[in-house]
Amino acid sequence: MDEEEFMFTAQNLKQVVDPDLVFFAECNGKPIGFALALPDLNAGLKYLKGSLFPFGILKLLWHTKVRNKIEYVRLVTFGVIPEFQKRGVDSLLFWNCHTVGIKKGYQKAELSWILETNEMMLKSADHMGAKVYKRYRISEIPL
């Protein structure tokens, strides 16, 4: 992502992000890695039955903030700059996500949108005991 795209995305995520689930790794004050896990709002959205208004927004707040029916988080974006890969930075970020997530009451995490060619991420997920349960593919054909 370029900076403009990153800022646009960050503005939109403000409404759903849990600041406790955003992690940055630094070395000598320079950012070298990050992880962003979001609460899986689908647990609250299922009660809306497709309608946010007039009472859907209240139902969403009730099920996500008051009753806190959210049991899952999704690790939606994660990265370590190349010169710090294979040094344990990824493990530290995963460990922080896990530790904070458990303290906040989350029971499971989904590592989403991992490319099949991202061998390091797939290996890390495997070492954590993650199981592949869904696969997305993008295909291209000329028109």
| 68-96 tens-digit pLDDT | 667 888 888 888 999 999 898 988 998 89
For residue 122, give every residue at least 6 positions away whose Cβ sits within 8 Å of its Cβ, in sequence order, or none. Answer: 114, 116
Containing 64, the helix (H) or strand (E) segment is: none
List of domains in the chain? 3-127 (3.40.630.30)
| pLDDT at position 75 | 87
| pLDDT at position 59 | 72
CA separation for the pair 127, 143 (Å, rounded): 41
* Residues of the chain falling short of pLDDT 70: 1, 43-49, 60, 62-69
| pLDDT at position 119 | 83
| pLDDT at position 1 | 65
The count of residues in the chain is 143
| pLDDT at position 44 | 67
